[in-house]
Amino acid sequence: MEIGAPSQAILFVTNESDKSTDFAMRLHDQKANEIIRQVPYSTTKLLVTKTDAQKFTFFVNKRKWTVDVPTLKQRNAMILFDGQSRPKVIYGSQSYLQAAKPILTNNKLISTPQKTLKYDGKLFFDSIAAIPFKPSKQYAKAIISRSNLPIYSNQKKGRYDGTYISQTFTGENPEKPNGIMTIVYQKGKELSTNNLSNGVNYYTKYFYNKWGLIDSIQQLYNSKWTYSTIYQYLPHTILISDAERQSVSIYHLNNQYQLVREESIHFAYQRMNWIDHRYN
């Protein structure tokens, strides 16, 4: 793949010759999707995509740089090209968003002062806060019992309790693990996940209310806080937003607490996506 200035690119790549942990791959996909959802669309000016390409050539005037994916130090990476200088290879998916912010900000859709925002973040969250609803024990039980809800699909429904450790090994070094995952459960609730992969530590901490519903989730990268997600509950709606309230995922439920619509709104980029679900 060849990309030349003034075009810019945010590329998510996978080195298939590196057999690191599945957890790292899932986290890579999760962080990549978060960035992809922020971009209204890829254009000739900005390309944001996951790709199976294994070789990239970047041009700025007479300068040229090549990135060979099979030679990367880790299995998953993000390649940033700002259209002005040498491309950067970013490892550690927790740092993807922070590293990509300059390019994302440069390409952000800016509304004119005279134009009213279609999706107003402050107005949206103020209206949610004005709804007088507190989840009950029965409500929480109904929500948690629905395994088809993506936000609770990782809960083990009481099957696991305690600390579970798994290790992964490669053929190159079958005696020393290249990945160690430690998950702590309490009566089926996942309290934390600590993943050490290729010398990088990813830590996820879950916080619950008194009925067992998720209040928030914190993500740390090498013991440094990176971001949090906040959960809010309405009679037939669950909202998940980032700490800065720049985006929100909305899960609409029917009377049986089945998921009928997923919405994603990004207020800075004035973009909304949705998926409808139907049941027989």
Rounded distance, CA 90 to CA 97, Å?
Answer: 10
What CATH number is attached to the domain comprising 79? 3.40.30
Q: Are residues 209 and 144 in the same domain?
A: yes
Asked if residue 135 and residue 77 are part of one domain, the reply reads: no
61 and 194 share one domain: no
Query: Is 260 in the same domain as 161?
Result: yes
**Within this chain, do residues 173 and 38 fall inside the same structural domain, yes or no?**
no
User: 3-class DSSP state for residue 214?
Assistant: strand
- The reply to whether 135 and 231 lie within a common domain is yes
Q: How many domains does the chain have?
A: 2
Output the pLDDT for position 82.
Answer: 92
Which pLDDT belongs to residue 269?
Answer: 64
Q: Identify whether residues 49 and 91 lie together within a single domain.
A: yes
Query: By residue range, what is the domain housing residue 229?
Result: 121-276
- Residue 116 in any domain: the answer is no
Alpha helices in 39-119 (DSSP H): 96-106
Answer whether 6's CB lies under 8 Å from 31's CB.
no
Residue 200 sits in the same domain as residue 172: yes
Q: What is the pLDDT of residues 52-79, one digit of tens each?
A: 888 899 989 889 999 999 999 888 899 9
* Phi-psi map region of 246: left, alpha, beta (phi>0 left; psi -120 to 50 alpha): alpha
Ramachandran region of residue 29, left (φ > 0), alpha (ψ -120 to 50) or beta? alpha
Question: What number of other Cβ atoms are within 10 A of residue 280's Cβ?
Answer: 2
Residue 84 domain flag: yes
Q: Which residue spans within the chain are E strands per DSSP?
A: 2-4, 8-14, 46-50, 55-60, 63-68, 76-81, 88-90, 162-168, 179-186, 189-197, 200-208, 214-221, 224-234, 237-242, 247-253, 259-266, 271-276
Indicate whether 53 and 131 sit together in one domain: no
Among 106, 134, 163, residue at a domain's last position:
106
**Domain presence at residue 50:** yes
Q: Is residue 255 part of a domain?
A: yes
Give the whole-angstrom CA distance, residue 242 versus residue 194.
Answer: 21
**Residue 96 has what pLDDT?**
92
128 and 240 fall within a common domain: yes
If asked whether residues 174 and 92 sit together in one domain, one would say: no
| Residue 115, domain member (yes or no) | no
pLDDT of residue 163: 93
Q: What is the pLDDT of residue 125?
A: 78
Identify whether residues 238 and 139 lie together within a single domain.
yes
Query: What are the residue ranges in the chain where pLDDT is below 50?
Result: 109-115
Whether 59 is covered by a domain: the verdict is yes
- DSSP assignment string, 100-138: HHHHHHHT-----TTSPPSS-HHHHHHHHHTS-----HH
Cβ pair 188, 159 in contact under 8 A: yes
CB contact at 8 A, 212 and 144: yes
> Is residue 232 situated within a structural domain?
yes
pTM for the model: 0.56
Please say which residue of 106, 134, 153 terminates a domain. Answer: 106
pLDDT of residue 52: 81
Supply 91's token pair.
């490892």
222 falls within a domain: yes
Q: What is the pLDDT of residue 205?
A: 92
Domain end point (choices 106, 135, 153): 106
